[in-house]
Amino acid sequence: MKETVYHLKKIFSFGKQYKWFFLLELLLSCIQISIGVLLPLFAAKQIVLVTNNEYHQLLLISVAICGIEIFNSLNNACIGKVCNVFRRGTMKNIQIELGIEILKIKQEDIEKYGTGTFIERLNHDTERITELFTKGIGYLARVFTYLGVFISVFVINRVVFLYYLIVALLLTFLYLIKTKKIGIQDVKYKKQKDRVSGFIGELVRGEKDIKILSAKKSFMNRLSTEITKQNDLQHVKRNLEVLYDIGIHFLTSILTLGLVILLIFLIQNEQLSVSLAVALFTYKTNIMTNFMENVSLLLNEVKDFNISSGRALSILENKAFHKEIFGTRHLEHLEGNFSFKNVSFSYKNYPVLNGMTFDIKAGQTVAFVGKSGAGKTTVFNLLGKLYDIENGEIWIDDINIKTLDEASIRDNITIISQNPYIFNMSIRDNFKLVKEDVKEEEIVEALKKSCLYSFVSTLPNGIDTVIGEGGTNLSGGQRQRLAIARAFVQKTKIILFDEATSALDNETQRDIQKAIDNLKGEYTIMIIAHRLSTIIHADRIMLVEDGKITAEGTHQELLSNNVVYQKLYENEITK
């Protein structure tokens, strides 16, 4: 109960702007409930009138019932409309807030819990939360409505009323146990559902690689195992439900027999007429079945509301996931100098950087070379503050990165990965994501500088061409050049470029080289080079081995005094 009140308070805070719709929904529901209470009373009156042969009054009451029922159906339609406005609006606000908070979660927690966890909470849980205000209120209204039946029974006969009351309390107790037990099972089921959602997300996002790797069968086997686990958990939940339902039905049958015996006893003792006994017996369905069914559905709805609210609030209230932490210092203008001082870093206890130290001056172009797995990309991730370092310091323009706010870091650093993510929207909109008021001339200039304009101008709609899901109709080289163009528009001072490992054709490679050359001087550029030929003219080249810089200098200097670099170069030219 305490939990439900807490969740309700929190969830209502997202629907504040729609509170009038909610209040109107409550008001209309109260009218619906009052009608529901009145109708059985009228029906009881009808029975009394029939037994007393008062047909004139009976006709009047019947016309009144007809009018009330018509009004009630109109009222129900209004409730549906009003509650939908409240529900949709609140759901949108929760989803937006969840989206914002998910984007604040630390990279390592996203990797740890998997994307499915967040997709389910954003999609399914928000839907379930707001259902309390549609279905839930409907069930509540019906529960109250059936209370009208209780009142009618009370008016007709107190002994039968007492019997019905005991029955209702007994069945409510059973339904409460059922809801509690199923709730425990439901939490397990929902966790597994998160995993399945994650797998399905990977199936869609990684479909290309699944095909190329010829991994369809093994991937589907994994997915099938996860779905089977999900089904098994659902099965256990269903079995529990069925078991409790059988028990409840069994008990209801016995209680019905008890009711019949009680009614016969009352008739024999002349405490009840046969016609009223028949009327009281017909209320059985409303009290033992409809009333209890709605109590059960309502409890179920509250249970689902609590589970889903808990899952959503765990993101919104920083309960289960760690959020990124930034400093408060804001830098309006950045020179573009940066340095690592004795930095150490591990991914989940797997050490990668081990006392990394280097210093880069604004406007320089510096290249990182070294074996795969040496820790080069990790340096980029740490500069973008996607992870936090364990020891040492990272400085940007002589300010410790820990003290800087998010905008000072992310507005000034662009990371161009080997396969940059291009959003499924037009080329223009991809630019608008990094600069909302970008002008067409700026886009064209950026595309020209990144050697992509001649390609874009051949597209049917030019810069308004929608590039497919994840930009799939662009080649790897084109994606990288588009990402470079985005950096031109964003004008970030520091550009970190991870050269594609896959072999690019000579022309594409030349274009990328030209695009990077166009960046030189104005920006501080760091390149992870997989082909030494592309960085011969870099101001400085640093050799990375086992998470440390082991040598640095120009291409000529390293070639003449570093054996490892010489070997790397020889390997490349003899390929």
**Binding residues for ligand ADP (CB under 6 A):** 111, 347, 350, 352, 372-378
Least distance between ligand ADP and beta carbon 126 (Å): 28
Closer CB to ligand ADP, residue 39 or residue 353? Answer: 353
Q: How far apart are CA 30 and CA 240, in angstroms?
A: 35
Q: Are 171 and 292 in contact (CB under 8 A)?
A: yes
Q: How far apart are CA 439 and CA 444, in angstroms?
A: 9
Return the DSSP state at 136.
I
Least distance between ligand ADP and beta carbon 108 (Å): 7
Of 442, 451, 439, 517, which is closest to residue 480 (Cα–Cα)?
A: 451
Helix (H, G, I), strand (E, B) or coil at 497: strand
Least distance between ligand ADP and beta carbon 370 (Å): 6
Closer CB to ligand ADP, residue 371 or residue 510? Answer: 371
Least distance between ligand ADP and beta carbon 381 (Å): 7
Helix 137-156 crosses helix 158-205 at what angle (to 10 degrees)?
170
Closer CB to ligand ADP, residue 62 or residue 501? Answer: 501
Q: Are 198 and 119 in contact (CB under 8 A)?
A: yes
Closer CB to ligand ADP, residue 294 or residue 378? Answer: 378
Least distance between ligand ADP and beta carbon 350 (Å): 6
Q: Are 416 and 439 in contact (CB under 8 A)?
A: no
Closer CB to ligand ADP, residue 122 or residue 383? Answer: 383
Q: Please state the three-class secondary structure of 260-295 as a single string.
A: HHHHHHHHHCCCCCHHHHHHHHHHHHHHHHHHHHHH
Least distance between ligand ADP and beta carbon 501 (Å): 9
Q: Would you say how long the chain is, in residues?
A: 575
Least distance between ligand ADP and beta carbon 368 (Å): 8
Least distance between ligand ADP and beta carbon 349 (Å): 10
Closer CB to ligand ADP, residue 381 or residue 450? Answer: 381
Least distance between ligand ADP and beta carbon 312 (Å): 26
Least distance between ligand ADP and beta carbon 556 (Å): 24
Question: C-alpha 465: how far from its chain's center?
Answer: 29
Least distance between ligand ADP and beta carbon 11 (Å): 34
Closer CB to ligand ADP, residue 156 or residue 356? Answer: 356
User: Which residues make Cβ contacts (< 8 Å) with residue 151, sequence separation at least 6?
Assistant: 37, 40, 41
Least distance between ligand ADP and beta carbon 322 (Å): 15
Long-range contacts of 135-142 (CB under 8 A, 24+ apart): 135/297, 135/301, 136/298, 136/301, 136/302, 136/305, 137/25, 137/26, 137/29, 137/79, 137/83, 139/294, 139/297, 139/298, 139/301, 140/29, 140/298, 141/29, 141/32, 141/33, 141/36, 142/36, 142/290, 142/294
Return the DSSP state at 437.
T
- Number of Cβ within a 10 Å radius of residue 361: 14
Joined tokens for residue 140:
């509540």
Closer CB to ligand ADP, residue 211 or residue 567? Answer: 567
Least distance between ligand ADP and beta carbon 558 (Å): 18
Helix 292-316 crosses helix 158-205 at what angle (to 10 degrees)?
40
Closer CB to ligand ADP, residue 375 or residue 477? Answer: 375
Give the H or E element holding residue 116: helix 115-120
CA angle 9, 145, 290 (to 5 degrees): 100
Closer CB to ligand ADP, residue 49 or residue 102? Answer: 102
Closer CB to ligand ADP, residue 111 or residue 507? Answer: 111
Joined tokens for residue 486:
């985005």
* Residue 440 phi, psi (nearest 5): -60, -40
Q: Residue 552: beta bridge partners?
A: 542
Closer CB to ligand ADP, residue 52 or residue 342? Answer: 342
CA dihedral 435, 436, 441, 446 (to 10 degrees): 20
Closer CB to ligand ADP, residue 111 or residue 232? Answer: 111
Q: How far apart are CA 114 and CA 267, in angstroms?
A: 67
